[in-house]
Amino acid sequence: MLDICKLGEDVLREECSDIKEFDDALKMLSEAMIDTLDEADGVGLAGPQVGVPKKIFVVHIRGEKPMVFINPSIVGTSIETGVYEEGCLSIPGVYHDVVRPVGVTIQAQDVNGKPFTIQADGILARVIQHENDHLHGKLYIDHLEEREREKVIRSYEKKNRIRRKQKARV
């Protein structure tokens, strides 16, 4: 299992670099990321969240096959937008509504370097946009108005302090 980086760690704010080597190390990284994602009971996890500032993210929607996106690029978005409550494994315990396009077209490569294009809507489109943001140092809270963002951060920090105290007791 990989450690998940939390809000405040610099790696979450980096612009990620392209992946050029499609080797065994990349396959191992993507498998470890999927295992970490499943263990954390999340739906998406990006490289910088596990301390790797490279263009890779994984998506695992319950009941479907896990997907790996390498060097992804969103090439189209719907005009229609929707609201959905998002959370992030790097900001655990807090959630907020975020407005985003309801549909996206994304181009990426698989673990073997083979290019593919996916047109997604619904939850998949939502997760793809959230994870793709991570590759550009962006978090879902950056989409919120400043006052709302501060509220989410304060609530996260409060929960985090309580969690640390509980940990210290055992």
Q: Which residues are known catalytic residues?
A: 131
Given the complex with Ni ion, which of 108 and 130 has the nearer CB atom?
Answer: 130
If one asks whether residue 128 binds Ni ion (CB under 5 A), the answer comes out as: no
Contact code string over 83-102 relative to Ni ion, x by CB under 5 A? -----x--------------
Give the pair of three-digit tokens for residue 38: 């499943």
Given the complex with Ni ion, which of 44 and 103 has the nearer CB atom?
Answer: 44
The number of residues that bind Ni ion (CB under 5 A) is 1
Restricted to residues 34-93, the positions that interact with Ni ion (CB under 5 A) are 88
Report the alpha-carbon distance of residue 99 to residue 96 in Å, rounded: 10
Report the alpha-carbon distance of residue 160 to residue 157 in Å, rounded: 5
Q: How far is CA 18 from CA 77, 112, 159, in A?
A: 22, 14, 35
> Quick one: how far is CA 149 from the chain centroid?
18
Residue ranges that bind Ni ion, judged by CB under 5 A? 88
